[in-house]
Amino acid sequence: MGRLHLLPFMVALPEPGLRVKVSVSTHNGTVTHSGLVLPPAAKGHLSIKLDNGYNVSYPGDDLEAWEALDAPHTAPVSDLHAPEEDGTLPRVRLIHTGGTIASKVDYATGAVDAKFEPEEMLDAVPELATIARLDAVKIGNMFSDDIRPQHWNIVAEACAQAFADGCRGVIVAHGTDTLHITSAALNFAFAGDERRPAGPIVMVGSQRSSDRGSSDATENLLAAVHWAAHGPLPTGSAGDAVCVVMHHTQSDGVMAVHSGLAVRKMHSSRRDAFQAVNGQPMATLTLTGHGFETHHFPWYQAALEAENNRPVAQRPTTYEPGVRIAQFIAGPWLHAEQVEAVVSTGVQGVVFQGTGLGHLPIDDTQNDAPENLRLWRVLTRCVNRELPVVVVNQCIHGPVDMNVYSKGRKQQAMGLLGHGISSTPETMVAKLHWVLSQNVDVKKALSANLCGEHRDVLRE
C-alpha cells in the first residue's frame, strides 16, 4: 500500500496508470473510489476506471485524499488452461477480427484496447467446450470503425474456408459499431445470388469489454457458439445467411438472434443495443441450468418450414473495394453544391437518407427556396448520367413509399430509386455496393428481394 496523500491545497493529481484509492467531495458528502487512473477527461480533472469497469471523473479541486494501491495481478497470456475437446460435438470456427468482445483494459493507460487473443477467449470461457469443438483464427485486431469492404472479402473467404475444413458453423467476433454493416455485406456475399452458406454464420460482439464486471461478452459468445453448433441451417432467403447474436434486453439470460439484414445498433452503450428493424428477431436463446432453450419467432419458423432449393455457396461473391458511394442526409442543410462537389469525385452511386416516407427537398412551392430547385436539377443530371440515386429511410423503421405523396411520385418520375424498401439504411448501402460489384442491373436488383432484405413484416 502507498502513502496517503492529503490535499489541503491543490497538488499534483495521481499519474495515469496508477491504481489508487481516492476520497472525493461531492454534493452528497465524501465518497471513496478505487480503480485505475486514466488520462483526464478534461484539464484539471481526475478520471478513474473503477473496478466494476465504469469510469468516473471529478474536478481536481474536489479530491480530498488519494492513496496508491498495489497493481492488479494479471495472468500471463501463456498461462492458459483450455479444457479438453469432446469429439462428439460439432466443430465451430471462431474468426477473430477485434472489437470490444476481444478487448481488455490496458493497465498502463486505462484505455480499452483490441488485443484479446482468440486462445484467451476460449480459455476464459471454459463452458464453450461443452457446446462445440472450437478452433480460432485471427484475421485482424481492429475496432470495427476501421473495417472496409476489403475486410468483408477477407472475412467471407475465411468463413468459406471454415466450411471447407468441415466446420458446422462459424462465429465472427466483431466490434459492435459497424457489426450490422458487415453482417449485411456478408449476407449478400453468400446469398445475394440465390445461394446460401453451408452452415450458420453468426456475428457476435459485446458492448463492454470482456474483463469488465458488467461485460455482456461471455453470454453473447456462449449463445453465438450454440447457434452456430446447433441452430438451424440457414435458408439464405430469410435474411438468415448471416445472423447477429446479442443481448435481447439489458438483463442477462436471454439473447436475441437477429437477421443480419434487419438489425441495427440503436444505442451507443446499452447491452441490448441491437434491435430488429421492421420486424422481429429470428429467435431467442434463453440460458438455463441445462444450456440454452431456443424459441423461433413464428415468421422464422414458417421460413424454415417453407421449401428452399437454394444451392450451397462454396465460395462467396466479393466486393470491389474501389467502389465509392456518397451518402447525404435530407433536410434543411442539404444543398446542390454539396452533391455536385462529391459527385465530381467520380462516385459510382449516391444514397440519400430521405425524410418521412423517403422525401428530398426538391420543391419550391412558395417561390422562396431556390436552393430546392437547384438540388432538383443536380439530381436530374445525376440520373441522366446513369448514376444510381437511391433514397433510404432516415426514420429507420417503416418503408420508403414514394406513392403516397406527390413529392414521392415526382421523385420516381425523375428516376430516383428506393421505393418499397423496408431495409435499414446500412443494408441498402451494402446492397448497392454489392450490386455495383457484380455488374448487374442496378434498378432491377435494388427492387428485388435477393436474400430477405425486404421481408413483408411491417404489420406484425
- Residue positions annotated with a catalytic role: 100, 176-177, 265
- Mark 274-307 as b/e (b = at least 16 C-beta within 10 Å): bbbbbbbbbbbbebeeeebebebbebbeebbeee
Contacts of 326 (CB under 8 A, 6+ apart): 339, 342, 343, 347, 349, 350, 351
Contacts of 315 (CB under 8 A, 6+ apart): 157, 160
Cβ atoms 101, 206 nearer than 8 A: yes
**Cell (9 digits) for 228:** 452456430
Longest dimension (CA), the chain: 77
Contacts of 62 (CB under 8 A, 6+ apart): 24, 25, 26
Rounded CA-CA distance 230/283 in Å is 13
Distances, alpha carbon 46 to alpha carbons 22, 63, 109, 235, 255, in Å: 10, 8, 13, 53, 37
**Residue 187, φ and ψ in degrees, nearest 5:** -60, -50
Which is nearest to 198 in space by CA: 310, 317, 86? 310
